[in-house]
Amino acid sequence: MSAVFRFAGPKLLRAGLSILIVVTFTFVVLRASGDPALQILGPSARAPDLEAFRRHWGLDQPLYVQYVRYVLAALHCDFGNSMLAGKPALQLVFERAPLTLALMLPALALTMLIGIPVGAYAAMHRDTWVDRSVMMLTVFGFTVPSFVLGLLLILIFSVTLGLFPSGGADRPESFVLPVLTLGLGGAAIIARFTRSAMIEVLSQLYIVAASAKGVTWRQVVRHHALPNAIIPVLTLFGLMLGGQVAGAVLVESVFGWPGIGQLLVVSVANRDLAVVQVILLLVALTMTSANLLMDLLYGVFDPRLRGTNSGSQ
């Protein structure tokens, strides 16, 4: 038990500190962006009204009191109302969350289902024309920004061929193009990474030993090479999630997908700060927990790492 705690404890502490830093960052940025009283009541507000507003929201208190209050409110998930919709910002974000998840989860699955087999296949046929053309394709896959890829897919599959709708989220076919757009870029990254991890593993002595004792090549790959090559791919997965979140914002905008990403863009354009901060904190929380989970899973998959805490450096 204590060993588990020694392994997980510092990682948990680190995750908590990270969240606190993000909360502090939002507090500082919000306060630095101007007087909230002026912003909400407008430049034509009278001085006594401004004064009353400040007193009501505690803006006349010293900064550290405001900070502590802000952190406490965040802990209670109280982020205020959206200026645009007049509803609690948190509720607004959670209403949109299922649609964004419905986009991201299939995209992540696609990333893995394409990336890992393609990468492993390329590694096993290293330096053949298959390998080279796959690697060429992946360069396009991870350099082409998602909004360009999405629009090109619309141009080909919606405008020219008329196979899939170019936007909206009302039909099952609507999912195809956005999920493809979001998944393909990640798949390219995973494929490249799997390929190099696999090449590394295939040159290990235990692979030679397994082949030498007469295990069939198929089994060597399945039971000896792939499981070892996948471990580093898992950590990459945690890092890639950030790219997927950013990609989702652009992809939702391209396809008119009414998820969190669109909400964010609209809120930024209208400077609806309550909503923006909820989304920022939500992303930070998701990313931190994902990284924490990956760190802990790493210990499960690779028992050698349990005693150390050097993994994150």
Partner 1 sequence: MKTATVETNRPPPRSVDLPTLLAVGWVLLMLLTALAAPLMAPYEITSIDLRHRLAPPVGFGGTMLHVLGTDDLGRDVASRLFYSIRTSLLVAFGATAISVLVGTGIGFIAAYFRGLVEHALLLMIDVQASLPFLIVALAMLACFGNSLTLFVALMGLYGWERNARLARGLAITASAQGYASATRQLGAHPLRVYLRHILPNSAATLLVAATVTFPEIVLVESGLSFLGLGVQPPMTSLGVMVAAGREYITRASWMLLAPSLVIVITAVAVSVLGDWLRDKLDPTLK
Residue 117 touching partner 1 (CB under 8 A): no
Residue 81 touching partner 1 (CB under 8 A): no
Residue 217 touching partner 1 (CB under 8 A): yes
225 contacts 121 by C-beta, under 8 angstroms: no
Half-sphere exposure of 171 (CA within 13 A, CB side): 9
Least Å distance between CB 288 and partner 1? 6
CB atoms within 10 A of CB 277: 23
Least Å distance between CB 178 and partner 1? 15
Stretch that binds partner 1, among 100-108, 115-123, 229-237, 275-283 (CB under 8 A): 275-283
Residue 66 touching partner 1 (CB under 8 A): no
Residue 74 touching partner 1 (CB under 8 A): no
Residue 245 touching partner 1 (CB under 8 A): yes
What SS3 state is found at 304? helix
Closest by CA position to 89, among listed 269, 261, 267:
267
Least Å distance between CB 243 and partner 1? 7
DSSP letter, residue 303: G
49 contacts 59 by C-beta, under 8 angstroms: no
Least Å distance between CB 239 and partner 1? 8
Residue 230 touching partner 1 (CB under 8 A): no
Q: What is the DSSP string of 124-191?
A: HTTTSHHHHHHHHHHHHHHHS-HHHHHHHHIIIIIIIS--S-SS-SSSGGGGHHHHHHHHHHHHHHHH
Residues near partner 1, by CB under 8 A: 14, 17-18, 21-22, 26, 29-30, 32-33, 139-140, 143-145, 147-148, 151-152, 154-155, 159, 166, 202-203, 207-208, 211-212, 217, 242-243, 245-246, 249-250, 253-254, 264-265, 267-269, 271-273, 276-277, 279-280, 283-284, 287-288, 291, 312
